[in-house]
Amino acid sequence: MDLGYARVSTVKQDLDRQIDALEQVGIPRDRIYVDKKSGATTDRPGLRDVIAYAREGDTIVVHTLDRLGRTVRDTLNLIHELAERKIGVRNLADPIKVDSSNPDDPMAQLAVVLLALFGQMERTYTMERAAHARAVATAKGRRIGRPVVVDPSKLAWAAHLRDTGSTIAEIVEKTGIARTSLYRHLPPRPEQAATAAGTPPADRGPER
């Protein structure tokens, strides 16, 4: 079974172009999972649900591979994780065509190798940029390191209070966490994923 996945970065952007392309290759709207989320966030219920729904022999089809991951490396890791479950990934519009559902196709496998190469290059460049930023910050006398982290147990208590109807002011008073820290660290409310047909994803049961 082919399953579609489409994502745009903001609620103001339109999913139609991606959905139309997926429908053109025969994927019905009720099997196209969608997200209106930035690629920088890991909280993507549509992607999470299509991965959970997919079974051995299925293929997840996307318009372009950048819809799947925050980075080339993230995308490559996801392709390999799905391949271990014998689930393929196929793109429609990238210059490099990836189809991990066909391990006997040498060109498809070459595309995955090229993707791995780009992922390694991206990682190297990221490390170099981070090292340069640290050097500049040190030279200017800025403090380097992770910011102070809110106590996870207090944060979990704050999330519980929020989800049971407490206001931010009440949460601040009960947990002692500053308002600005709450806005920065409090996890978003869980979202209900939907398909392009506007319906909740079908329950396919546990994977065997």
Hey, which residues are catalytic here? 9
Q: Please state, in angstroms and rounded to a whole number, the distance separating the CA atoms of residues 101 and 79.
A: 10
- Extended strands (E) in the chain: 2-8, 32-36, 59-62, 88-91, 194-195
Tokens of residue 187, six digits: 């996890």
Q: Please state, in angstroms and rounded to a whole number, the distance separating the CA atoms of residues 12 and 200.
A: 21
Rounded to the nearest 10 degrees, the angle between the axes of helix 168-175 and helix 152-163 is 150
Would you call 143 exposed, middle or buried from its count of C-beta atoms within 10 A (0-12, 13-18, 19+)? exposed
- The widest CA-to-CA distance across the chain, in whole angstroms, is 62
For 42, half-sphere exposure in the C-beta direction (CA atoms, 13 angstrom radius) is 3
